Copies of this chain bind each other. A is one copy, B any other.
């Protein structure tokens, strides 16, 4: 674990490239790093919350000896873009025909409603059929409030979501779509 700084960096970089096209979280993190480095936006993944069960001390330093991963009560990513509050989650689905709603916890749905109410920009980035879609919060909530289905059909996502640019070299660009939806209280597409 103790690589010198420079080698450590190269190592990380290689990992990122190797993961491209596979791991949604890595793709989003790379996009956020790009936005940060180019001073376009400040968007970070929140650390995964943990429940600590047991700690000990080594050389005056706390070591966690037992803990478990907990679920985030909000969404995983948030930050600041052009003075506005942004929050989103990235969701992967293996299904080719729909996005199962059990991917989103009830407290997260409540939180999405809250962010909309308080004037923030909130959305999901959904990877389905090897495509990336941005589904704006109000359109996500609209579906939930008007359907009894337990999954969002791919057709709805294609119609109301925004297909995001993605390629191997340039990575994922979602801010261009945030520019589109950011100026509207509700959805700009509907």
Contacts and interface: CB of A to CB of B under 8 A. Distances in A.
A31 to B, nearest CB: 16
Contacts of A96: none
A47 B44 contact: no
A68 B62 contact: yes
A118 B49 CA distance: 27
A89 to B, nearest CB: 14
In the A-B complex, the 6 residue pairs with the closest CB atoms = A83-B119, A47-B49, A64-B67, A85-B85, A80-B85, A47-B47
Contacts of A1: 53
A50 to B, nearest CB: 6
Nearest to A1: B53
Chain A interface category by residue count: 35 or more
A42 B113 CA distance: 11
A78 interface: yes
A123 to B, nearest CB: 14
A74 B115 CA distance: 21
Nearest to A58: B68
Interface string A71-92: 0111000111111110100000
Nearest to A48: B47
A80 B50 contact: no
Given A74-B44, A82-B118, A115-B42, A66 B68 contact: no
A5 B81 CA distance: 39
Nearest to A120: B80
Interface string A15-55: 00000000000000000000000010110101111100100
A55 to B, nearest CB: 9
A184 interface: no
